[in-house]
Amino acid sequence: MTNSRISGFYNMTLDERRAQLAEALLSPSGAPLTPEDLSAWTTGGLSPEAANHMIENVIGLHSLPLGIALNFQVNGRDVLVPMAIEEPSVVAGASFMAKLARAGGGFTATTTDPLMIGQMQVINVANLHEAKLKLYEHKAELLSEADTIDPVLKKFGGGARDLEVRIIEDSPIGGFLVVHLIYDVRDAMGANAVNTACERLAPRVEAITGGKVHLRILSNLADRRIARARCTIPVKELEFMGADGVRTYAGEEVRDGIIAAYAFAAADPYRAATHNKGIMNGVDAVVIATGNDWRAIEAGAHAYAARSGKYTSLSTWNMGADGNLVGTLEMPMAVGIIGGATKVHPAAQAAVKLMGVKTASELAEIIASVGLAQNMAALRALATEGIQRGHMSLHARQVAIAAGATGDFIEKVAAQMVVEKVVRIDRAEEILKGMK
C-alpha cells in the first residue's frame, strides 16, 4: 500500500525525497517505481529527439518544477500526487489541506462515464425542423457507423453512445443545425476518436439533411464527463496560530470565513474567476504532470462555470450538520492515461504509475480532489491572515534567484527580504552584493 504521509519531506534534499518516494511506494499494481521512472523526473524525461516528433520547429525543451503533494487520501486510498507548476505555495497548500481533509475521512470522488461530445455544424439546410427529425430517424445507423471507427476503444468498452440534434435559430449566418455525437472514450482523452468519428459521419449527415457539414470537432465543454469530489474538515482541525505567533484563529472563525469567501465567488464573477483560478492551480499541475491537455481542461472548466449564463464558483463550501466544514467540487475532466503525451513522455508515464491509477476516471477523481484542496488552501489563507504572508518566503527565493543568488545565498537573501518585508529584485541585488 502506498503511504502518502511522509514526515519531514519538506526539509529533505532532492535525493532524499526521491529515495523516500521509492520507499513509500509499494504500488498496488505490484509495479513499484523503477530507477528509470525516477530518472525521468531528474532529467525532465523527454529527449529533444522525442520532442522533435511531437511538435514542429523544435529547438529544445522547457522545464517546470515537479513537486509531490502529500497526505492525499481519495476514496480511502492513499495517493502521492505529482504536480508540475512554477508557482510557490501550491504544492504545500494542497498537501496541508489534504492533511486536514484526511482527518475527516479524506476525499470522496466519483466520475460520470467518460463521455465526450463531438459537434457537427450543418449549414445550408432548407428546413431545420424537418432535417432534425430525419437525423433522429437515422440515429441507429449513424451510431453504428461511428461505433466502428476505433476498434481499440470498442474492445475496451467505448464507442458511440448517443446522437442529439440542436437547432440554432439565429446566428450571424442565420439558422443551422448542430449534431452532437456522444462518444464513450474510456481511458483516452478522446479528441482523436471523436474528431475522426465526426469527420466520418459528415457525408452521411449531409445526405440525410441535404445540407453541408461545416465544422467537425469535439466540444471542450465536456459536461458529460464530470468529476466530483467532496471533503469534510472537522472544525477543530481548522484552528491555527497565525504566522506572527500571536493571533490564534478559532476553527469556527476559519470555517465561517471560508464559507463567506465562497459566497463572494458564488455571487460575483470577478471573484469567481480568481476563486476558480485557485482550483485550477491544483488541477492544471496534475494535468500537466500526467501529460494531459491543460488548455482543454481550462476551457471546459470555465465554460462549465458559466453554464447557467452567469459565471460562478466551481466549488461550494458550507457548514455540515455537525458544524464541520464541507466542500464540494464538480467540473468537466477530460483526461486520459493511454494516448498523446501521456504515452510518449516518460515523466508523465512515471506520474501515472506513481498514483497507481488504472483508469482515466481514477485520475480524474484525484485531480478533482486536488482542485478542491487547493481551493481550500487559498480560501483559508485569504479568510485569515491573507495570502502574502505564506507566499512571501517562497516568492522571496524566486526573487533571490532572479537577482543572481546561487547555493546558500538563495535562502540567506530570501530570509533577509522576508525579515525586512521588502521582496524586490533591487533589494535582493543589494543584499547579495553586501553578503558577497
Residues with a catalytic annotation lie at: 87, 277, 293, 391
Scan residues 87-106 and list those touching ligand MEV (CB under 6 A): 87
CB of 217 to ligand MEV, least distance (A): 31
Using rule CB under 6 A, residue 281 touches ligand MEV = yes
Pairing relationship of beta strands 159-168 and 176-184 according to DSSP bridges = antiparallel
Closest CA to 67 of 277, 289, 287, 283: 289
Distance CA 360, CA 244 (A): 43
- Closer to ligand MEV by CB, 29 or 274: give it: 274
Query: Residue 349 and residue 290: Cα distance in Å, rounded?
Result: 7
Phi and psi for 35 in degrees, rounded to 5?
-55, -35
Check binding of 274 to ligand MEV (CB under 6 A): yes
Smallest gap, in angstroms, from Cβ of residue 405 to ligand MEV? 24
Q: Applying CB under 6 A, does 132 fall inside the site for ligand MEV? A: no
Min dist. Cβ of residue 281 to ligand MEV (A): 5
Tell me which residue of 185, 173, 170 sits closest to 218, measured CA to CA: 185
In the block, cell 495570502 appears at 387
Question: Binding to ligand MEV by residue 277, rule CB under 6 A?
Answer: yes
**Among 45-53, 78-86, 106-114, 275-283, which window interacts with ligand MEV (CB under 6 A)?**
275-283
What is residue 189's DSSP assignment?
A: -
**Least distance in Å: CB of 374 to ligand MEV?**
8
Cβ within 8 Å of residue 24, ≥6 positions away? 2, 3, 4, 6, 80
Binding status of residue 115 toward ligand MEV by CB under 6 A = no
**389 near ligand MEV, rule: CB under 6 A:** no
395 is a contact residue toward ligand MEV (CB under 6 A): no
Taken in order 253, 256, 258, 264, the sign of the CA dihedral is negative
Residue 145's identity, in one-letter code, is: E
Closer of 312 and 349 to ligand MEV (Cβ): 312
Looking at the Cβ atoms of 2 and 95, the one nearer to ligand MEV is: 95
Task: Report the Cα 419 to chain-centroid distance in Å.
Answer: 35
CB of 329 to ligand MEV, least distance (A): 13
Least gap, CB of 373 to ligand MEV (angstroms): 13
* Cα 344 to Cα 358: distance, rounded to the nearest angstrom: 17
Give me the helices (H) in 171-228, please: 191-209
Q: Does 387 participate in binding ligand MEV (rule CB under 6 A)?
A: yes
Residues 367-386 that bind ligand MEV (CB under 6 A): 378-379, 382
| 17 vs 277, beta carbon nearer ligand MEV | 277
C-alpha cell at 347: 515523466
Query: How many beta carbons lie within 10 A of that of residue 101, not counting itself?
Result: 29
390 forms part of the interface with ligand MEV (CB under 6 A): no
Contact 228, 329 (CB under 8 A): yes
Q: Tell which one of 18, 224, 255, 275 touches ligand MEV (CB under 6 A).
A: 275
In 26-158, DSSP assigns E strands to 66-74, 77-84, 108-111, 115-123
Contacts (Cβ under 8 Å, ≥6 apart) of 414: 393, 396, 397, 399, 400, 405
Which residue among 104, 278, 291, 356 contacts ligand MEV (CB under 6 A)? Answer: 278
Residue 216 or 275: the one with the smaller Cβ distance to ligand MEV is: 275
Q: Which stretch binds ligand MEV (CB under 6 A): 21-29, 49-57, 274-282, 426-434?
A: 274-282
Where on the chain is the footprint of ligand MEV (CB under 6 A)? 87, 274-275, 277-278, 281, 378-379, 382, 387
